[in-house]
Every structure is written in structure tokens, then in C-alpha cells.
Amino acid sequence: MLRNAVFWALDRAAPGAPNAPATSFKTPDDLAVDLVLSDPVIRQPVNINFDERGRLWVAEYAEYPHPAGLKMLSRDGVWRVAYDRVPQPPPNHVRGLDRITIHEDVDGDGVYDRRKTFVEGLNLATSSLVGRGGVFVLNPPYFLFYPDRDRDDVPDGDPEVLLQGFGLEDTHSVANSLTWGPDGWIYAAQGSTVTGRVARPGEPEDRAVRSLGQLIWRYHPERRAYEVFAEGGGNAFGVEIDARGRLFSGHNGGDTRGFHYVQGGYLQKGFDKHGALSNPYAFGYFPAMKHDPTPRFTHDFAVYEGGRFPSKYDGLLFGVAPLLNHVVMSELIPDGSTFRTRDVGFAMTTDDPRFRPVDVTLGPDGFLYVADWHDGHLAHTQNNEGLVDVDTGRVYRIRPRDAKPAGPLPDLGRLTSPELVERLDDPNRWVRRTALRVLGDRKDSGLAPELRRLMTSRAGRPALEALWALHLVGGLDEAATLAALRHVEPSVREWAARLACDGGDATEAVAKALAEIAASEPSVEVRAQLAASARRLPAPQALAVVRGLMSHDEDAADPRLPLLIWWAIEAKATTDPDAVAAEFRKPAAWGGAVGRSTIQERLMRRFAAAGGPVDLDRCVGLLEAAPGPEDVKRLMTGLEAAYQGRSTANLPPALADALEKHGGSSVVMGLRRAKPEAVAEANRVLTDPDGDREKQLQYLRVLGEVRVDACRPAVEALALKSPINPLRSAALAALAVYDDPAIADAVLATYGSIPDDVQSSARDLLATRRPWAATLLEAAAAGRIDPRSIPRDVAPRLRSLKDPKVDALADRLFGPATEATTADRRARIARLAELARGGGGTPKPGRALFQQRCERCHALFNKGGKVGPDLTPFRRDDVDSLLLAVVDPSAEIREGYAACSVATADGRVLSGVRVDADPRIVVLRTVDGEERTLDREDVEAIEPAKTSIMPDGLLDDLTDDQVRDLLAYLRVSQPIID
């Protein structure tokens, strides 16, 4: 031990230690770096942490970049991979190279001289965490628990699968970084280029929590509950929870050190690449923490709170930058309810390009430990080409230059519970946090009286630690919660609110206290947590808290609070919209600066975007309740945002009247009522070759639902002569309301000379009326138009007209209607499945095929039609289910997408999916993707279709390579970037 201490003082590796480092570092004058672990003892360390005995646990990620036993079927341009199957969990898995190892400094001299392997043969294991009588292991797609009740470092049996469904598409981004929170939840990250469909084993598919891209999640071991804590961020690969319980993660981009996460928050992400936020009504997100321009990236960091460094380092962020080969130090500077950062220096720099710091954590000795991937290559391309050195890895320690070894560390797991309570005063956050975790393991309720006394009698950090401990032992009852909510220490009030609301409701007394505090709370961070917590409460309790928060006019300028308040309101607009509407009938709801700057516009937009009759009635209520013209103007801004790119033709009369009454009427609303001034303006715009395109399209959508004879000449001229294809298609659709045989003749006269997409619109038009359909088929039979220009997928729509003449003509053109046998379909599926499982296929040309054949009806990654289901959340990696849906679309039609035919009083037959209905209207989404609003009085019959609106045979004319490409694109988990 003495010999090792000498080498410690000389900043040299001890003889007999693992391979001496080839890397030399520059550090600040008062800091030093020691090599504590190296290859061949460890390899590819991706995550490090310490147990209650002070031992270092290392997750060794040597199986990276691809899981053992799986076959890669395709990958996209950003290296998201589709595999042939989902791997089995241990012990029935294909064994990989990953392992969880334990390293111990037996005599406290700073040298790790004992090593054990807790479990090996894992297949993409990113993290481990000791607690609750065993070891939690994150091994995507599974979250596992290895019981070890006797603490002998040998699992007591096979692991239990706690959760399943974490995505494997990109092993740079899989779920990672298990971390104990002070509240007894386990927190972890999910990266940007994977998906999640997370559930407990045995839970039905519809109970799974679906996610797309980066987020922070958490798991409660006792309740066995999984939830998304906050959504968005960078390629989240790291979790840091500071002494106040704030949660951070780094970023794989530049100009920031990372993200500050708040409960229930929505954060910036690469939306084109990683998909939209899960909540379409979020209407905003938090950016990364502000920082001066800086190269990318610090994907993980630790806030130093160890009590052993010189005081100037207290509270600094130590960020690992694997591409830049350094550890940077940054100051966290309050910025309202969040933070900005400023660099103050470097803790470790080197010229060695193999230094790849990927994780940093606080140790039981108060020093920082850095995991070094130690590889010359750290990029998708090279790694996937095999340029990965699976046999290397380092762990370094950053310490004060004059620091002595800490000596043997106590086993916190062997301390009595009162002794653990004493450790809550330790200057090292690691000691305090680990003591909390062990108290949470024990659940010693006999500690509650002493912990309540400590919480109420102390100030500052000790009071907060006592609150957390009281919660973990089960002693945070109503009386203690009320005392904590009135505590002098803001962090205690903040966490009392969070813990009180985590379960989804609060007692009557606590709810009343929360509402009172919201109105008077001086701390902006406490107000931010109150807003986040209100979102979890039932509407009456939540809105009472929101009411108090909205009285703080100063928060209108805060970078986060207005959106946090909005998200609390929006959550109740989803679960209890009547309560929200009633709240905004009160004059007090309209008076504050937060309401004016953020809430009014978004609430109107929220109800209008939902778009149902009852939602639009609530828009009327907002207009009627608005106290002044400026409030109406803000509401109108929200309404216009909701209807951007959508038709307003289905606005109910009550809303149209309210808009006109309050100065919000428009040409569209006047046109719907055939008001002369609106008709004249519409004709002027439609006949102007240089007219506003958006207005022209908007007016045509309205005229396709409301017959205005005075506008027919303008519509017909655009349908037959416009050189602008979208206008021409919209005008063709609008002609459907005019029951005149001359329209079919005029359209067919130009049919052969118009582009394919306009031809499609012409066919859709002619298929709406029996005489027009007969004219179309007769023209094809006579050779006046090319019969090949009418695809087979039009036949079911033509036959839905139930006209003998049309049926006979369709039989002549397409052959008699026949259905493929089940055996035929199975054979086709088997052949295509063999193609798909053979690998190959390129997503980019597959995307072009999807756009040609599928996008008109189906959306994928927020682009495409709405006739069929949005394919984004589907199990598109399940080849058999995917092919069944394509080859035999009528085998299983998703609820809400069953087709029907609607016969109207004026002779039209419209095919599509009924998306809304009430006693006044029926809204049909037709095959052209447009929503047609039909007055109930104009509807003669609605008949369900016997088959899917999706035609059979979509793949029949594709080559094998094209099929592979299309399936490769359908299997990608996030958008392709050109």
C-alpha cells in the first residue's frame, strides 16, 4: 500500500497495474489524472458507477456495433438498421461479448486490485445499477433485474425481464445510463435514432408506451411503472442528477453543453431526422441550454459536488467530448427557471486521438472518474465497416494534485439505518445519494419521526435530503407534505410538490396548499415544478394551481414557465376539455401576461386543431368570453394557425357567426353562405393568373363542398386549362358538386394531354357519379383515351356505384371481379417474405416507390395522406405482418379506417373513410386525401365497404429489387435525410 501511495504522489501508474497508459494529459495546475483501469482488464467501457461498497462497476460494450445472432436486413443513410428479428432475453439469448465487471480497491490505496465478472455473454448491455436486492441491467431491447440478495456478486438465478421494447436500430443511441434518482425512481436515457415500444412482459401491445427518438425515461421498482419523464434533447447518452435533483443530459450537437430536463417537458430535437414530438398540441419546446458557439460535442457530463476539489470547482459541469479528446469544464449560470453555460477551462486534454471519453461520474472518494472508449475511430461509417478495437478501454480518475488516497471506504450497506441518516450530511453527493438508495432498499419506517424532525428543523440541503429520505421510507404523509410545502427552503417546497403529485392526484388539503402556494411562491424553480406537477393532477386540482401560476406576470419573460403552464392546461384540454373551457369563461383567466403571451392563442389553436364539432363549439365559447379586441386577435391567430393548410369549409354556423360578430369573418365563411361580396372576391382571385395560390386552393376546397353556381365558370376554367397542377386538381375535385353530363365530356376531352397526377384527380372526379363513370369507361373501350391510364385500383370504386352499365364496362376493361384465394395470398406473402429476409434493399429508392404508391393514402414520418392509418407507429420491422397488410389489406382493417360509400341526394357516390359525424354533418376523407363535409340532409345512404379501401396487388408489377427497396424503406424507424 505504501509503495502504491508513492506512485500516486508521483502521478505514475503503479508497477503491476494494467497496461501503462500511452496517453499523457494536460490538466489545470491543481488537478491530476490517474489511470485506474486499462485493457486487457477492461474493454470498451461505456458506463461506470459505484455500489455502496465503493466498488467500480463497468458496463463493457464489446459487442458494439451489431447484436450477435441477428441479420441486418437494411440500413438507412444515418445508419438506422432493420434486423431480421427481436433477440431473446437472457438466458435464452445468443451470447455476445458484453459483460458487467466489478473492480475493487481493497486497501484504499487508490489502485483497483480485485476484479470480478458479475455477468458476461450479454448482447448490447449499456448500463448496470446496484440496488433493491440485486442488479438492474439495461440490455436493449430489455431492462433486466438480476437478483443477488446475499450480495455475493453471483446472480441468484436467471434475470427477470422488467421491461421490453427498447429499440435496437442504432447502437449509438440505444437506451442507456441507468441512474438512481433521489426519489427512488431509476432514470435513464434513450437516444435519438431509435424507437421505443416499451411494456412489461405479457402486457397487450396497445398498452406499450411508444416513442420516437430521444428522451429521458424512468422506472419505479416497487410500482413497476415505466414512464417518459421528458421528451426530446440531443442523442441522449448520459444522465446527471445534481444535488438539488435537477436532471441534465448532454448533446451530440454544437453550441451547447446539453439539455436541462424538467418533468413532462418537451425539448428540441432534430425533427426532420428524429420525428415529431409525441404531442401534436405541444405548440413549442425548450431549446438546449444557451452557450457560446463551440464545436460538437459533450454528450455526457457530471456536475462536481464531491467536496474534495478546490472550492472553485464546486458546481462546475465536467463534460466529456469524445470527438475532441478532452474533458471540458463549464459554469452553470441560472437563466430564469433553467440555465445557460460558459466554459471556464479543461480538466483533461491530450494529443492522443484514441482518447474517447464517453462517461464521467462522481466517485465515493469525491473524485471524478472518466470512462475512455479508447479507439481511433468513433463514427457510424468506420465502426460499421469493422474499424472497432474491441480489446481496448481505460478508466481515469481526476483528483486534486495534492490529494491523498481516501483509504478503505466503509460499506454503506452494512451501516445501521440511523448511521445512514447521519451520512445525509456528508459533503460528497455520492455518499448522500447512495445512503438514500440504501434507505430506499430497506424501507425502515421507524426512521420517519426523526426524518420529519430533521426536515422541519433544518434549512438548505440537509432539509432536502431529509425530505427525500422520509419519502423513501414511506413516511411522507399528508401532514409532512403540508409542512414541506411551507418550508423556508425552496428546494424542499419544489420536491414536496413533485412528490405529492407523482401519483396522479393529491389529498384535498394538499391540493388546496398547492393552489395557494402557486399564487404566492417567490421561487421561479418552484413555480416551474408546480406547473409540471399540475399536469399530472385531475383537472379541478390542476386548474387551481394553474390559476395561481398565471397570476405571476413576471413569468411571461421566463424561458420556460409559459410553456410549462400551457402544457398543464393542454393536458386537461385532452382529459377534461369541459373543465378547461369553463375555466376560460371566468374573467380572471384573461387578465395575466402569461395568458396574453402564450395561453390564449394556443388554447384556441388546440381546440380548433382537434376540429370536432364539440371542439369548435369551445372555440365559440372562447370568442364569446374574450374581454376585448386584442384578446380576440390572439384567438384569431390561434385559429389561423390551426387551419393553416386546411379547409375552413366545415366550420359550424355558430363559429362562423361568432367570427363575424367579433370581426373574424372571412371570404371563406362568406363563400360558404354564398354572400355576394364573398362570391365576387372569390371569382376575382380564381380568375387572376397571378392570384394568391393559397387563397385559390382554399376557395376551391370550399367550392367543392358548397355549390355556388356563380363560381362554376371560374372553377371549370381552372379544371380544364390551368397550367398549375395543384390548382387544376383542386378545381377538378370541386366540379363534383355540379350534376351536369357536360362536365364529364369536357374533362375527357383534355384527359389524354394532362399529367398523371392530374389524370388521377380527373378519374377521382368521374368515379363519383354513375353517368360520368360510364362515360369514362366508354371512352376507354372506344379508344378515345388510353385504357392503360385507368389503373386496376379504380375498379372497386367504380363497382361501388352499383350501376349495371358501369359494372359491365368495368368487367370488359379489367375482367370480372375475382378475389385471390387464401392459398394464393399465402404463397405471395411467403415469396415476398423470402425476398425481404434475404437482406438487401436500399431505403432511398424505396422511399420514391412509397411516394408513388402509398403516400397518397398513408403518412409516414408526418408526410403523406390520411386516408389510411399513419404508418409511423406500426411494427414495420415485423415482415410477416407488414406483408399481410400489403398483400391482403382486407384481412384486418384497423378500427377507424373502414371504408364506406356515401350516396348523396345530388347523385354522387363518394368512397372514403368516415372521420367525423354529428347530427349536422358527415365528414368523409376521400381517396384523394381531402375531407369532404356533407350536410346530413344531403346524405341518402351510408354503406360500409366489404373490403379495404386499399387495393390488392400493389406489389405485383414491381421487380424483386424494387420490392426489397420498398420494404427496406418501410422498415426504417425514422425519416431519411437527403
Phi, psi of 177 (to 5 degrees): 65, 55
pLDDT for the residue numbered 34? 96
* Cβ–Cβ < 8 Å for 781, 813: yes
pLDDT for the residue numbered 650? 64
* Cβ–Cβ < 8 Å for 618, 608: no
pLDDT for the residue numbered 272? 66
pLDDT for the residue numbered 6? 37
Q: Which three cell numbers stand for residue 135?
A: 442488479
Amino acid residing at 119? V
Q: How far apart are CA 334 and CA 629, in angstroms?
A: 37
Candidates 491, 568, 487, 579; CA nearest to 540 is 579
* Cβ–Cβ < 8 Å for 775, 741: yes
Q: How many CB atoms lie within 10 A of CB 161?
A: 18
pLDDT for the residue numbered 793? 76
**Beta sheet of 259-261, edge-to-edge order:** 240-241, 247-249, 259-261
Is 339 in a helix, a strand, or coil? Answer: strand
pLDDT for the residue numbered 662? 83
Q: What is the DSSP string of 466-512?
A: HHHHHHHTT---HHHHHHHHT-SSHHHHHHHHHHHHTTS---HHHHH
Please list, in sequence order, all residues whose beta carbon lies within 8 angstroms of the beta carbon of residue 888, skipping any fewer than 6 positions away. Answer: 820, 825, 829, 952
pLDDT for the residue numbered 649? 56
pLDDT for the residue numbered 952? 75
Secondary structure (H, E, C), 431-472: HHHHHHHHHHHHCCHHHHHHHHHHHHHCCHHHHHHHHHHHHH
Q: How far apart are CA 72 and CA 815, in angstroms?
A: 42
* Cβ–Cβ < 8 Å for 732, 761: yes
**Beta sheet of 31-38, edge-to-edge order:** 31-38, 394-400, 368-372, 357-362
- Residue 304 gets which letter from DSSP? -
Secondary structure (H, E, C), 903-965: EECCCEEEEEEEEEECCCEEEEEECCCCEEEEEHHHEEEEEECCCCCCCCCCCCCCCHHHHHH
Candidates 147, 149, 125, 153; CA nearest to 137 is 125
- Residue 97 gets which letter from DSSP? S
pLDDT for the residue numbered 3? 36
Widest CA span in the chain? 104
Q: How far apart are CA 881 and CA 894, in angstroms?
A: 13
pLDDT for the residue numbered 141? 98
Amino acid residing at 738? Y
pLDDT for the residue numbered 892? 63
In the chain (978 residues long), the average pLDDT of successive 10-residue segments reads: 40 41 87 97 98 98 95 81 94 98 96 97 98 99 98 98 97 96 99 95 94 97 98 95 98 92 96 83 97 89 98 98 96 98 98 96 98 85 76 97 90 98 98 99 98 97 99 98 98 99 96 98 99 98 98 98 99 97 96 97 95 93 95 90 65 85 75 86 95 92 90 96 93 93 94 87 92 94 90 83 92 79 78 81 88 84 81 71 77 69 89 73 78 82 81 81 87 76
The per-type count for the chain, helices as H runs and strands as E runs, is 33, 34
Candidates 571, 578, 569, 576; CA nearest to 600 is 569
Q: Can you give the pTM of this predicted structure?
A: 0.82
